[in-house]
Amino acid sequence: MYVPGGPDPFFGDSRSNLHNNRCFFNKRTKWGLTPFSEKGSDPPMGVAGREVRWREVGDPPSECCAYPWSGETCRSLVPVSSSGFVPEFIDEDPETFHHRVVDVAGRALWVPALSEQRVLVLGSSQRDDDLDHAALEAANVKVARRRSGGGAVLVSDDDLVWFDVVITKSDPLWIDDISTSFDWLGKAMSRAMSDLGLETTVHRGPMVRTDWSRRVCFAGLGPGELTHDTQKVVGMSQRRTRQWARFQVAILRRWNGQEHRQLFQVPLNETAASDDALERAAMSLDHSRNDILKVVVDSLSLY
C-alpha cells in the first residue's frame, strides 16, 4: 500500500505530494504513482525510459484505480497481471452483474461496483418464503438473485470484496470434474490470504452442511472455499457451460451472524445453539478493499 511521503510500492523511491500525483500504466512493469510538475504538461518517459500512459487522479472508472467508485483517488493500485487475469471494473448493480453475459475468448477478471446499499443475493434455487420481508424493509436491504447455487450472500461495499474469474474450455486451468474444478482457485486465494498474514485451509471434498447453510452461504463449506481455524473467510460458487466457467468469489470484510439471522423466517424449532453456530461460522478480514484486490491479482498472475 502506498504511504504518503513513503516509498512507492513498486519503484521504491519516495513520492510525496499526493494531490499532485497522476496514475499511470507502465507497459513493462506495473501500476504505480508518479508526480508531475505542471498540470497539463506532456508525460515524460517512465522509469529507465519505459513508456507510460497518464491518467488524471479522479478519472472515470478504469483499470487505473483499484476501486474507482469508492471516491478515493489513485492512491492504492493493483498490478496488471501477465497471466491474462487483468481486473476489469464494471459499474453494474449486483443483479445486473450476476446476469452479465459471458462473451470472452480467453480469461477475465471482473470486479463489480458495490455501494453502501446492502443487497441480499439469493442462490438460484433459494425460496423467497425463507425471507422475512418486513425485516428486510426495516433494515433497508434489497434482494437480488444469482444464477449460481448456494445460500444467500449479504453484499455491500463494506461487507465483502467480490469478483468473478472466467476461463474457457481451452484453458489449462479447466477441469471437467466440477467437484475438483475449484482446487486451483482455492490455492490461489489461499496464497493471497497468506500475503495478508492469514493462514487458511482449502476445503476439498463434498459440501459441508449446517442448520443454516441452506439459507446463508457462509454458514456452509463447499469445494475450494477457505477457512481459518474452522471459520469461513472466502466463499465461492460457479456457473459453467460447455464453453466457459465463471467462478464467483466473495472475501468477507464484515461478518455478523445475527444480522443474517434477522433477515430470514426462522422456524420455531431453531435453537440458540444453531444461532451461535451461525455467528461462529465465518470471520471478518480486517483489510482494505484495495489491499485485498492487490494480493488477489498478484496471486492470479502466477497462473
Q: 3-state secondary structure string, 226-250?
A: EEECCEEEEEEEEEECCCEEEEEEE
Q: Could you tell me the three cell numbers for 157?
A: 461495499
pLDDT over threshold 80, residue 72: no
Q: Which long-range contacts (CB under 8 A, 24 or more apart) does 56-60 make?
A: 56/22, 57/19, 57/21, 57/22, 57/23, 59/23
- 214 SS3 class: coil
Percentage of residues in the chain having pLDDT higher than 70: 71
The predicted pLDDT at position 268 comes to 52
Determine the topology of domain 78-300 in CATH.
Answer: BirA Bifunctional Protein; domain 2 (3.30.930)
Confidence at residue 27, expressed as pLDDT on a 0 to 100 scale: 28
273/278 Cα distance (integer angstroms): 9
pLDDT band at 228 (very low <50, low <70, confident <90, very high): very high
User: How does pLDDT run across 32-56, given as a tens digit for each residue?
Assistant: 333 333 333 333 333 233 233 333 3
Judged against a pLDDT cut of 90, whether residue 173 lies above it is answered with yes
Share of the chain above pLDDT 90, in %: 58
Tell me: pLDDT of 74 over 50. Answer: no
**What pLDDT, on the 0 to 100 scale, is given for residue 123?**
87
Tell me the mean pLDDT in the region 269-275: 68
Residues of the chain with CATH 3.30.930.10: 78-300
The answer to which of 63-72, 90-99, 183-192 has the lowest mean pLDDT is 63-72
Residue 204 is predicted with a pLDDT of 94
Amino acid at 145: R
Which ranges constitute the DSSP H helices of 48-98?
A: 94-98
Q: What local confidence, expressed as pLDDT, does residue 224 receive?
A: 96
In this prediction, residue 271 carries a pLDDT of 67
pLDDT reading at 101 higher than 60: yes
Between 95 and 27, name the one with better pLDDT. 95
